[in-house]
Amino acid sequence: MKRGDTATTMTRRTLLGAGGAAALAGGAGVASAQSEPYGGWFTGDARGGETASFDGTVDRTGESEVTVDVGAPGNGGTFAYAPTAVRVDPGTTVRFTWSTDNHNVVVESQPDGAGWEGHEPVENTGFEFTHTFETEGVYTYFCQPHLSVGMKGAVVVGDADVGGSSGGGGGTARPDFGDWLVQDGEPVAGGYTDARGQSEVTVDVGAPGNGGTYAFAPANLWIDPGTTVRFTWSSDNHNAVVESQPDDAGWEGHEPVENTGFEFTHTFETGGMYEYYCQPHLSLGMKAGIAVGDDVPTRQVGGADGGDGGGGGGPTFQLPSNDIAVMLPGLVFGLGGLLGAAILAGELYNDRKQALEDAPAIEGPATEAPAAIPTVEIGHDEYDPVGTAILIAGFFLVLVFMWIFVYFVEFLGNGPTIVG
Amino acid sequence: MEIHRFEKRWFVISLVLIIAFISTIVYGAAGVGVEMIDDDGGQIDPSNVRNAQGFSDPGVHSAGDGEYDVYVIAYQFAFEPGSNEPIRVPADTRITFHVTSSDTVHGFSVVGTNLNTMVIPGQVSEFTTVFDEAGTYGIVCHEYCGAGHHTMAGTIEVVPADEFDGGSNATDTEGSN
């Protein structure tokens, strides 16, 4: 019974969080859970928050032991499993290693016949445990203290299909810029384009994303050597500063800050990884990378549309405008208030106008009027401001009442109280 | 200087009111025994909370003389114990809470009561209380502590003193209700 009470309390708070996450997901136009990899386990539609650290399934097949970092940076803190989703061969031993405090591993789902128990006690830095995954299939798990911020993970054993638009089998390869295209644990906006085979490509500088028009689109671009990239400014106050490039490449970027309509081109001849950013908006995640040639580090992504933010910004704020029941009272009270204020203002204006008209016209040059002579003079003790006295007595009564209510009823009556 | 008799009266009433206000506070402190939370809990190394006195085994422990100590560690985003398992304490007994944080600033607020404190890394927030009635109380974190702050909550189960099965630890007694 008491446990039931607890559940009710938790549900209310959890529901608020889940509702908000669902609304955000809806606003951002996330596809339905069925087309998401892992049945939507890493979206905000599943239990807990959206898993921002999920960026495709990392293929670690062919290794006999794989390490998963528990409490890696991500999901708005050190609340990620790294890799978040990993594919291993049957019989692979996975070592879960705690790199920060207060995490556990709770199994959400696993294939029939698998008996993985995870590790439910909350553990701290340095703790580790291993499990050898024999049964093929998809295992999902989460960290109970940080489920609400999306600390979720998955292990895929064997050739199991993880779902998603491109199906399983490791998905497609794309250039891996490591942490460069990550800002505060979230992939930067801008999306990914594979432009190999094209002779000229355009990068939109100042595209929508990263909380404004602070994205390079695409943020992750893959081209052949010899491709000309045209950087086109679509909003103001951006530049392109080179962070890193291959040793013998001489790209200088474009450091002066330019405005809408500006453009410059560069032909990338040297193969390798180029990283650049916009200096004014670096802190917002306006970063991008260009991979030239086929000899670049890559990683596998599960879904064709998963990964690098897909060009959108972060979660979009959603007005509750879809809910007419929420909007209508606000509208009625708002308009009513405005109308009331307008009527009051009109009356005040008329009164004032009347008073001005009724006032005797001033003739001649303005002079200081002499003080009016009182008709009756009364002595000091004859003056009885009874009305004022009653008003003040009333204030005192209210004060006493409020004090008694606040101290004795609201405070002392609200025990238990700290007594030591 | 002549002061009007009305003014003299409400001047006197004001003074009486101030004296009354002060005496209610004195009554609260001396009569009821209301106390403020201070730094009596002492300081510990926030990066090594689990080796600190009492916090190596968070939970309910007997302090002798029929009193109990409750050690609680707050972290993002849970109370231990409290969130995963309720803190079980006896009614009509002096309970001293020792709460600390192993990461960031949290709050420890027992909903609907006067029990609440900030939980600061490195500082042990210590307060004593008596639960007069058995029942279930909710704990919430009332200092914003991160993205999952809204889910950070826990439970205190107050059981009648004669049903309380010793002050070992909330973990050991769970399920015996």
Residues A31-52 have a mean pLDDT of: 75
Cα A13 from Cα A23, distance rounded (Å) = 16
| Residue B21 CB coordination number (10 Å) | 14
| Residue A419 CB coordination number (10 Å) | 15
Residues A216-240 have a mean pLDDT of: 89
Cα A337 from Cα A378, distance rounded (Å) = 47
Judged by phi (left if over 0) then psi (alpha if -120 to 50, else beta), residue A110 lies in beta
Answer yes or no: is pLDDT of B90 > 60: yes
Q: How far is B119 from chain A (nearest CA, A)?
A: 16
To the nearest whole number, what is the mean pLDDT of chain A? 79
pLDDT tens readout for residues B93-110: 999 999 999 889 999 999
Answer yes or no: is pLDDT of A309 > 80: no
* pLDDT category of residue B143 using cuts at 50, 70 and 90: very high
Q: Residue A78: CB partners within 8 Å, gap ≥ 6? A: A71, A72, A99, A100
Q: A49 to chain B: which residues are within 8 Å by CB?
A: 147-148
- Judge whether B81 and B99 are in contact, CB under 8 Å: no
Cα A173 from Cα A185, distance rounded (Å) = 21
| Residue A43 CB coordination number (10 Å) | 23
pLDDT at residue number A7: 42
Closest Cβ–Cβ partner in A3, A13, A385 for B151: A13
Q: Residue B116: CB partners within 8 Å, gap ≥ 6? A: B107, B108, B109, B110, B142
Q: A396 to chain B: which residues are within 8 Å by CB?
A: 10, 13-14, 17
Chain A contact present for B109, CB below 8 A: no
Q: How far is A415 from chain B (nearest CA, A)?
A: 5
Burial of A117 (0-12, 13-18, 19+ CB in 10 A): exposed
Residues A263-289 have a mean pLDDT of: 89
Q: B104 to chain A: which residues are within 8 Å by CB?
A: none
What residues form DSSP beta bridges with B154?
B139
For B88, the closest chain A residue by CA position comes to: A2
Q: Hey, are the CB atoms on B17 and A148 less than 8 Å from each other?
A: no
Answer yes or no: is pLDDT of A305 > 50: no
Q: Hey, are the CB atoms on B50 and A124 less than 8 Å from each other?
A: yes
* pLDDT category of residue B144 using cuts at 50, 70 and 90: very high
Cα A206 from Cα A305, distance rounded (Å) = 22
For A379, the closest chain B residue by CA position comes to: B4
Q: Percent of chain A, pLDDT > 70?
A: 79
Residues A319-332 have a mean pLDDT of: 59
Residues A283-310 have a mean pLDDT of: 71
- Judge whether A194 and A307 are in contact, CB under 8 Å: no
Q: B37 to chain A: which residues are within 8 Å by CB?
A: 418
Cα B97 from Cα B74, distance rounded (Å) = 12
To the nearest whole number, what is the mean pLDDT of chain B? 86
Residues A391-396 have a mean pLDDT of: 90
pLDDT tens readout for residues A147-183: 888 999 999 998 888 876 543 344 567 888 888 888 8
Q: Hey, are the CB atoms on A149 and B147 less than 8 Å from each other?
A: yes
pLDDT tens readout for residues B152-171: 899 999 999 888 876 554 44
Q: Residue A240: CB partners within 8 Å, gap ≥ 6? A: A205, A216, A231, A253, A254, A255, A276, A277, A278
Chain A contact present for B177, CB below 8 A: yes
For A399, the closest chain B residue by CA position comes to: B17
Answer yes or no: is pLDDT of A311 > 70: no
pLDDT at residue number A233: 92
Q: Hey, are the CB atoms on A392 and B10 less than 8 Å from each other?
A: yes
Residues 116-145 of B with CB under 8 A from A: 127-132, 136, 138
Q: Percent of chain B, pLDDT > 70?
A: 93
Which pair of tokens denotes residue A95? Answer: 């070592």
Closest Cβ–Cβ partner in A146, A384, A389 for B148: A146
Chain A contact present for B47, CB below 8 A: no
Chain A contact present for B77, CB below 8 A: yes
- Judge whether B90 and B164 are in contact, CB under 8 Å: yes
Cα B46 from Cα B51, distance rounded (Å) = 10
Cα A293 from Cα A298, distance rounded (Å) = 12
Q: A385 to chain B: which residues are within 8 Å by CB?
A: 6
pLDDT at residue number B166: 64
- Judge whether A228 and A202 are in contact, CB under 8 Å: no
Chain A contact present for B29, CB below 8 A: no
Cα B157 from Cα B175, distance rounded (Å) = 12
Chain A contact present for B146, CB below 8 A: yes
Cα A194 from Cα A226, distance rounded (Å) = 15
Closest Cβ–Cβ partner in B33, B147, B157 for A2: B157
Answer yes or no: is pLDDT of A306 > 50: no
Residues A304-315 have a mean pLDDT of: 40
pLDDT tens readout for residues A328-355: 666 777 788 888 888 888 888 888 888 8
Apex CA B58: angle with CA B56 and CA B61, to 5°? Answer: 105
pLDDT tens readout for residues A131-156: 999 988 899 999 988 988 899 999 99
Q: Hey, are the CB atoms on A418 and B150 less than 8 Å from each other?
A: no
Residues A221-245 have a mean pLDDT of: 89
Residues A186-191 have a mean pLDDT of: 83
Q: How are strands ordered across the β-sheet holding A137-142?
A: A58-59, A85-88, A152-157, A137-142, A103-109, A119-123
* pLDDT category of residue A37 using cuts at 50, 70 and 90: confident
Which pair of tokens denotes residue A17? Answer: 């969080």
Chain A contact present for B84, CB below 8 A: yes
* Helical (H) or strand (E) element with A327: helix A324-358
* pLDDT category of residue A327 using cuts at 50, 70 and 90: low
Would you give the DSSP letter of residue A353? H
CB-defined contacts A:B, below 8 A: 142
* pLDDT category of residue A205 using cuts at 50, 70 and 90: very high
Q: Among A42-51, A283-292, B89-98, which is the least confidently predicted range?
A: A42-51
